[in-house]
Chains A and B, each alone.
Chain A
Amino acid sequence: MKHQVILIVLLLSGLTAMPALAQSKFLTRTGTISFFSATPIEDIEARNEQVGAAVDVQSGQIAFTVPMKGFQFPRSLMQEHFNENYVESEKYPKATFSGALVNWTAAALPATGPQTVQVEGDLTIHGVTKRVRVPGTLEKQGNRLLVKSKFAVAPADYNIEIPALVRNQIAKSVDVTVNLACNPAP
């Protein structure tokens, strides 16, 4: 009888511990990632507002999933080339990132103002995974968690082949901007 009581108490405590921890998780499905490639010949800019992201401020884990077809270009032909020739969206429909905040303690997140952080993890684009470390900021704003980051990606690192004919029109290194407003996970 005594054992059963302990058992129930343990089970209950285990169950109640879950939601308490889950609240440290923030989610969005409508995050924005844009990229910009500047060359003397042509500027190319695209924006994706279908980014899924999860941040666990307790453990410092971060994950992204980016549907490649979600990138919108000002020129429809560019968009077609991007999907068909460069990132091969039908073969590799998503880019993902999974990593963690470097030297993170949950207490480091201030009540107001952005907190500068470093994130390290695996970035997968075009089926190629690379270990990257990028800077960013986290900011608690009311209920939400704002995540911002700016970094550069070299298409060549991810086996994205650019034909000689247009090589001068696409930058060697593409600037990526991440902007997320995550809500507490339900």
Chain B
Amino acid sequence: MISISTLWRVAGGLAAVLLLTPFNTKAQDLLNQLESETTDSLRREYVSATFKGTRVINGHSIETPGKGSLVFLISHRFGTLNSGAYEFFGLDQATIRLGLEYGLTDNLAVGVGRSSLEKTYDGFVKYKAIRQSSGPRPMPISVTLLATSAVSTLKFEPQPERSTTSRFTYTYQALLARKFSPNLSVQLMPTLVHRNYVALRRDQNDVYAIGAAARQKLTKRLALTAEYYYLLPGNTADDYRNSLALGFDIETGGHVFQLHFTNSQGMIEKFFVPQTTGNFFDGDIYFGFNISRAFQLKDSK
């Protein structure tokens, strides 16, 4: 049985607490209270900078230029490392692609490019369909859709059966990525390359591949990247090699330098997915780089 006086003491203490608490409130408590009331966990946060540039190495990343941003991209591949000292280990040769990409919105971008390889022009549309986010109804991955077309403008050999449409190649990719931590991002790329024209009857017009890529940051401005495209079984897979590339991303202010080693000479999907010939482990390695420079043409906000 609790005596009245005990109850009295408890109640008195309780009342004192109730009365005095407001006066004892320290700023830290006000901050804690504020944090609980602003409930930032209720705000949807999109994950940004899954990859540093719009390319992982050869292939596209899920990133697009921000709204109103024009990116000038210079991509370069030297010759193979195993070409020997006479060729200065490949540095005497070079293939190049110049490209421009523009963010129409934060999620939609278009781009054009021109490769010296087979004098090829390419254009693409890229759309960030789903963005990884935290908060209410979190989204575990980002999905970007990519459609490209490429046209070779090499002068025809005397091949009367070839029409203009035969020069076109189309690529469709779904880029699925997840940024697991600020340092590690992984991407999967189911890919279809459709070639209007193939030289031999046994060649496939439609080539399917699955790509995988990863970025591991080493420091705030330096990251390791890797990219691999696996050709699904078929004649193309028998005749050609899977594209493999390893590289570094080095970030400065408005530039991203990407240095890499790859067994693919081409820098657009129609080359590196179905037409890679180099054996990486025999030294058929093309050293190369991508440099991108962003220019803000319109304020994004």
Q: Are B301 and A72 in contact (CB under 8 A)?
A: yes
- Per-residue CB contact flags for chain A residues 57-81 toward chain B (1 = under 8 Å, else 0) read 0110111110101001111110111
Given contacts A76-B106, A77-B69, contact A56 B34 (CB under 8 A): no
Instruction: Report if B23 contacts A (CB, 8 A).
Output: yes
Q: Are B30 and A61 in contact (CB under 8 A)?
A: yes
Inter-chain pairs besides A59-B23, A74-B300, 20 sampled, C-beta below 8 Å: A3-B7, A11-B14, A14-B18, A52-B37, A58-B22, A59-B25, A61-B27, A62-B27, A63-B30, A64-B34, A67-B43, A75-B69, A76-B103, A76-B296, A77-B254, A80-B49, A93-B40, A94-B40, A98-B27, A98-B30
Instruction: Report if B221 contacts A (CB, 8 A).
Output: yes
Instruction: Report if A107 contacts B (CB, 8 A).
Output: no
Instruction: Report if A103 contacts B (CB, 8 A).
Output: no
List the B side residues contacting A13 at CB < 8 Å: 15, 19
List the B side residues contacting A134 at CB < 8 Å: none
- Per-residue CB contact flags for chain B residues 95-133 toward chain A (1 = under 8 Å, else 0) read 000000001001000000000000000000000000000
Instruction: Report if B38 contacts A (CB, 8 A).
Output: yes
Main SS of chain A's interface residues? mixed
- For the complex, count residues of B whose C-beta is within 8 A of A: 47
Contact of A54 among B18, B30, B294 (CB under 8 A): B30
List the A side residues contacting B18 at CB < 8 Å: 11, 14-15, 17-18
Assembled-state Cα–Cα distance A91/B220 (Å): 12
Residue on B nearest A15 in the bound complex, by CB:
B18
Instruction: Report if A165 contacts B (CB, 8 A).
Output: yes
Which residue of B14, B30, B67, B252 has the most chain A CB atoms within 10 A of its CB atom?
B30
Q: Are B25 and A166 in contact (CB under 8 A)?
A: no
List the B side residues contacting A93 at CB < 8 Å: 40
Contact of B296 among A59, A61, A65, A74 (CB under 8 A): A74
Assembled-state Cα–Cα distance A76/B49 (Å): 11
Assembled-state Cα–Cα distance A73/B7 (Å): 60
Q: Are A75 and B30 in contact (CB under 8 A)?
A: no
Instruction: Report if A27 contacts B (CB, 8 A).
Output: yes
- Per-residue CB contact flags for chain B residues 283-301 toward chain A (1 = under 8 Å, else 0) read 0000000000010100111
Q: Are A14 and B19 in contact (CB under 8 A)?
A: yes
Q: Are A67 and B27 in contact (CB under 8 A)?
A: no
List the A side residues contacting B299 at CB < 8 Å: 74-75
Q: Are B12 and A10 in contact (CB under 8 A)?
A: yes
Assembled-state Cα–Cα distance A91/B182 (Å): 8
Q: Which of A80-100 contact B (CB under 8 A)?
A: 80-81, 83-85, 88, 90-91, 93-94, 96-100
Residue on A nearest B69 in the bound complex, by CB:
A76
Instruction: Report if A50 contacts B (CB, 8 A).
Output: yes
A8 to chain B, nearest CB (A): 9
Instruction: Report if B45 contacts A (CB, 8 A).
Output: yes
- Per-residue CB contact flags for chain A residues 86-127 toward chain B (1 = under 8 Å, else 0) read 001011011011111000000000000000000001000000
Residue on A nearest B47 in the bound complex, by CB:
A90
Given contacts A63-B30, A76-B103, A80-B48, contact A7 B23 (CB under 8 A): no
Assembled-state Cα–Cα distance A115/B130 (Å): 48
Binding site for A on B (CB under 8 A): 4-5, 7-8, 11-12, 14-15, 18-19, 22-23, 25-28, 30-31, 33-35, 37-38, 40, 43, 45, 48-49, 65-69, 103, 106, 182, 220-221, 251-254, 294, 296, 299-301
Range, interface on chain A: 35 or more
Q: Which of A20-43 contact B (CB under 8 A)?
A: 21-22, 27, 29
A101 to chain B, nearest CB (A): 10
Assembled-state Cα–Cα distance A179/B67 (Å): 28
Given contacts A67-B40, A76-B66, contact A17 B22 (CB under 8 A): yes
Residue on B nearest A84 in the bound complex, by CB:
B49
Q: List 5 A-B contacts (CB under 8 A).
A: A61-B26, A63-B33, A64-B31, A76-B68, A79-B48
B29 to chain A, nearest CB (A): 8
Instruction: Report if A149 contacts B (CB, 8 A).
Output: no
List the B side residues contacting A142 at CB < 8 Å: none
Q: Are A11 and B15 in contact (CB under 8 A)?
A: yes
B257 to chain A, nearest CB (A): 12
Residue on B nearest A20 in the bound complex, by CB:
B22
List the B side residues contacting A169 at CB < 8 Å: 253
Given contacts A7-B8, A99-B27, contact A69 B220 (CB under 8 A): no
Contact of B66 among A17, A54, A77, A90 (CB under 8 A): A77
Assembled-state Cα–Cα distance A67/B135 (Å): 13
Contact of B27 among A3, A21, A121 (CB under 8 A): A121
